[in-house]
Amino acid sequence: MAHLYLHIGTPKAGSSSIQNFLLQEGPGSPIEYIDSCGGLCGHKFLSVPSFRGQVAPEIEARIPRKYRLSGLQDIAWDQIEAEIRDKAASGRPFFISEEHFYMVYDKDSVAIAALAARLKSLFDTVTILVYLRDQRAYVKSLYSQLVKRGRTVQSFGQYVNSADRLRDLVDYATRLDLWGTAFGQSNIQAVHFDRAAFPKGNVLLDLLARLGVDDPALQDRARAFREQNVSPTYVQMELIRHATRLGLNSKMRRRWINNRHMRRLSDATLPDTWDDLILNFSARGNAYVNRTYLTDTTPGLPVSPAEEERDPG
C-alpha cells in the first residue's frame, strides 16, 4: 500500500526545519522521496494545471521561476509511477514537503481537484499535512519576509489595514475545506503550529509521530537539530523598508539584517498594536477550524471571547 504524506505548509510554520532535517538524514531518512517528480519538494506537482493542460496564469505567477512547467506534458508520469512501485516495497511512506502548495494552489478548487485526482491515481492513500500558525504571528512573519526581501515599502499598519488582504491572509478555513473536499476531510491532518501542541515542544518530533516513526536515535537527532533563520528586528525592518524606498541595494539590506549591534536596538517582533484587529478577522474562521480540523490538537487556534461563547466546542 503506497501512502503519500503531502506537507503543504503553511508558510512560516516550520517547513524549512522539516525539509532540512529530512535532507540531513539522507539515505537514513524514515520516508521515501520521488526523485522523478522533484524529490523532497515534489516541485513538478506544482505544475498540475487547472485549465486545459496549462497552468492558469494567475497560478503560474505565484510559482517560483525554477519550479515552472508549461503543462502536464512536461511531467514523466510513467517514470513517477515506476519509481513509486519500486520504492513502495520498502514499506516506508512517501513524503513531499513544500509550502508553495498552500501558496500556489491557494483557493483554486479546480487546480486542487486536479492534483487530488492525479495523486489518488498514484497512491493508495494520500494524507495532507498542514501546520497552522496563530495568525497574529503569521501575518507579522509574512510582512517581515516581504520587507526583508525588499518587496514592500508599506508600514505594518498600512499592510494590515487593507481589510481585503487581511481577511484573505487569515482565512485558513476556506482553503482547508477545498483540500478536504478534494482529498476527503478525514485525510487532512491539520496541526496548530505551537510548541504546546508538539511532543516535548518540538515540531520535528510531531512530524515523526505522524509518520509513525518510533526510532529513539532519530528522535534524539530531531531534538538536537537547530534551524537558523534570521528575521529582522522591528528597527531593522523600518530601516530596510526606507532603504528599499530610497533604492539601496539588497547587499546593504542583508548587512543590516545580520548586524548584531543593530539587532540590540529593538525587540525581534513587531508591536502587538494590531493583534486585536488580526484576531477580529480570524476568530470566527478559527472556531470552525478548531472544531472541524484541529480536533486532536491542544491548544487550538485563538478565538475571541465572543466566539468562544457562540461556539463552545
**Cα–Cα dist 229/12, whole Å:** 11
Count CA atoms closer than 13 A to 263's CA, side-chain side.
Answer: 10
Considering only 73-77, 113-117, 195-199, 284-288, which range has the smallest mean pLDDT? 73-77
- For residue 59, the model assigns a pLDDT of 61
**Is pLDDT above 50 for 193?**
yes
**With the C-alpha atoms ordered 99, 100, 101, 106, is the resulting torsion angle positive or negative?**
positive
Mean pLDDT of 170-197: 96
Question: Predicted confidence band at 240 (pLDDT cuts at 50, 70, 90)?
Answer: confident
- For residue 52, the model assigns a pLDDT of 47
Q: Do the bridges between strand 125-132 and strand 188-192 make them parallel or antiparallel, or are there none, so unpaired?
A: parallel
State percent of the chain over pLDDT 90: 57
Residue ranges per domain, the chain?
A: 3-134+170-228+283-310, 234-265
Alpha helices in the chain (DSSP H): 15-25, 57-60, 77-87, 100-105, 109-122, 135-148, 156-160, 163-169, 172-183, 203-210, 216-224, 234-246, 250-258, 275-292, 305-310
Mean pLDDT of 73-78: 76
Domain 3-134+170-228+283-310 has CATH 3.40.50: yes
Provide φ and ψ at 43, rounded to 5°. Answer: -65, -20
Cα of 75 vs its chain's centroid, Å: 24
**Cα–Cα dist 195/202, whole Å:** 6
Which range of 31-45, 53-67, 68-82, 228-242 scores highest in mean pLDDT? It is 31-45
Strands ordered across the beta sheet of 3-9: 94-97, 3-9, 125-132, 188-192
- For residue 265, the model assigns a pLDDT of 52
More confident site: 136 or 237? 136
Residue from 204, 175, 163 nearest 31 by CA:
204
Mean pLDDT of 10-35: 91
More confident site: 263 or 81? 81
**Is pLDDT above 60 for 312?**
no
More confident site: 223 or 68? 223
Task: Tell me the sheet residues that pair with 191.
Answer: 131
- Residue-averaged pLDDT of the chain: 85
Q: Would the pTM of this model clear 0.75, i.e. be above it?
A: yes
pLDDT tens sequence across 80-132: 999 999 999 999 999 999 998 998 888 888 889 888 998 999 999 999 999 99
- For residue 247, the model assigns a pLDDT of 80
**Cα–Cα dist 311/306, whole Å:** 9
**Cα–Cα dist 187/295, whole Å:** 13
**Is pLDDT above 60 for 31?**
yes
